[in-house]
Each structure stands twice: as C-alpha cells, then as structure tokens.
Amino acid sequence: MARGTRRGGGRRLGCSLGALVLIVLLVLGIGWWLGNRGLPTGPDGPLPGPDETEQTQPADCPDVQMIAVPGTWESSPTDDPFNPGFLPNALLRTITDPLSEQYPDERLEVFTVPYVAQFRNPQRPNEITYDQSRAEGTERARAELAAVHGRCPYTSFILLGFSQGAVIAGDLTNEIGTGNGPVPADLVRGSVLIADGRRLPGEGQSPGLSPGNGQGMEISLQPATGLTQLIAGATMTGPRPGGFGELADRTAQICDSRDLICNAPLNVVDGAARFQEFVANNAIHAMYATNPDVIAGTTVPEWTIGHVNELVDAAPEIAHE
C-alpha cells in the first residue's frame, strides 16, 4: 500500500511538471510568434541603465558647430560671427556660405571668429603685429569653444582655418588633441588647415598633392625669429609640441607646394630671404579658392565642403530639452 501511494504521488508530480513545461513552451512560442510578426519589440540597442539618461541639451544648441578662423586681412574684431560681412570674397566664405545654406542652424552652426587679422610689415606699418593678432584670434576661438561646450555638452565641433587662421585653428587642434584644450578630443569631428604656417610633413593627413620637401615658415624660420620680429612683429614658434595628438587622423593639412607660408625651404638662410619675398608678393597664397593644382580633380573649397558634409552627416542628432 505504501509503495502504491508513493507511485501515485510520483504520477501526479510528473503531470504537474509536464504541464509547467508545456506552459513555459507555450509562452515562449507566443513571444516568438509576436516577434516575427514585425510588431515592436522595444528600442534598438540596450535600454538606459538606472543611472543613464537620454542625451538632451538646450534648444539653441546645434548638433555640430564649425569654428572658422579667417586668414590675414580677411576678418575684423567687430564682424558678425554668424553673418560675416567684412570681406565678401574671403576664402573661407567660399566654404562656410554654401555649408550654411545646406544645413539648418540646429544641425550645423558656423561661427566665423571675428578678430583683427593683421600682419604689420614694411608695406603696412600701421597695423598691429602678427603676434598680437594671432593671440586675439586664438583667445576668441578658444572662448567660443569653451562657452558652447559649457552650455551644450553634446555638441561636436569642426575646426577650419586659413593662413594665420590655420595657425590658430592648428594650435587649438594641438591643444585639444593633446588633452589641454577647451573641449574633449572625442567631440572634435575634424580639423581642416589651409596654408598652415606651422605645417610639419607627416603630421595630420594630406588630401592634396605632395607639397614637396618644405615645411611651415614658422618652423623653418624659428632660428631667425629675431629677424621676423623686426620685420613683422612675428615670433616664429616652430613645430607644435605633441603634434595633433588624438586628432592626427582627423586633421587635414592642405598646402600648395609653391606657397612659402606652408612650404618654406628647410634652410634658414634661404627661408629668411623667402620670408621677405613673401611679404612683398603673396600671389600663390591668395589663390586657394580657385587653384586646381592643390587637390587633384577639384579645388580646395569644393573638397572641404564635401569633407565637412561627410563629418556633419555622420554626427548624431541630439534631442533638445
């Protein structure tokens, strides 16, 4: 009797376990069926954790901000940074104007740094020195980066500069890439430097034709900086310590091989003579807007616009509060 009772209890337990397994399989089967009918199964990717929140920022914050630094004599400290009008045919306007037309401000905001942009020399003795001009441009660009990042923590940035502006944008790229800048390196989508006076072959990426065996004038003439200070109040600061750091693969260096600013001779004696030559005649330096011999098959503005298109289009869209 006792053995029969235990055997009967085992049958009841087996039935209960079988029913439980059947219910589990049924539930799993329904879930599989619903999932394969194309019904929503939740957002793509993992749900935010308990300490994570959706990335949002104020409504006036752009997804991407471009900091554009004009070259010598192409800006003014009183110019409107969002609608510059000091020099309508400035090189960077051939890039920034089309980009501003392509994107709404909430997607790409272009800030053209307003600074004195002068270069005192024997032909322009009443202008402020290169050192003073460069310092003003750097401070204004740095302040804008810091202010936007403080208000818009998820906005990313693109740096663009020409000539004196390329030195400024390159110096900021160096600061950020080596961990000493006003924004983190991972928020900089790219940097484009056109005719950078501190260009060092092998640093950054060169989308154009090989500029030859020269280097930036500020590197070649660093040993003769006393002469350049006398001629133009210009300190030749040499190569950038640390290069572009984390931003080396995101920094484009564009230089015409005939341009003495970004491709000066390595020999300091020849470089000093060529510096005075440049002060007197900078025709090649002023031709980047139309010169077909810098980047094969296109011009510098056309290439830069296409490059920035790729950077902006790949940037995430940030929700607004």
Residues annotated catalytic, as ranges: 163, 259, 285
What is the greatest pairwise CA distance in the chain? Answer: 121
C-alpha dihedral (292, 97, 92, 202), degrees to nearest 10: -70
> By three-state DSSP, how is residue 260 classified?
coil
Question: What is the rounded CA–CA span in Å between residue 166 and residue 236?
Answer: 15
Give the whole-angstrom CA distance, residue 18 versus residue 35: 26
Answer for the pair 154, 318: CB distance below 8 angstroms, yes or no. yes
CB 300 within 8 A of CB 291: yes
Both structure tokens of 250: 């995101």
Strands (E) across the chain are located at 56-57, 64-69, 108-112, 156-162, 188-194, 251-254, 319-320
Using the structure block, give the residue that is written with the tokens 């589990």. 24
183 neighbors 142 (Cβ within 8 angstroms): no
Quick one: DSSP state of residue 57? E
SS3 298: strand
Nearby residues of 121 by Cβ (< 8 Å), 6 or more positions away: 127, 231, 232, 279
**Nearest residue to 21 via CA among 32, 31, 10, 13:** 13
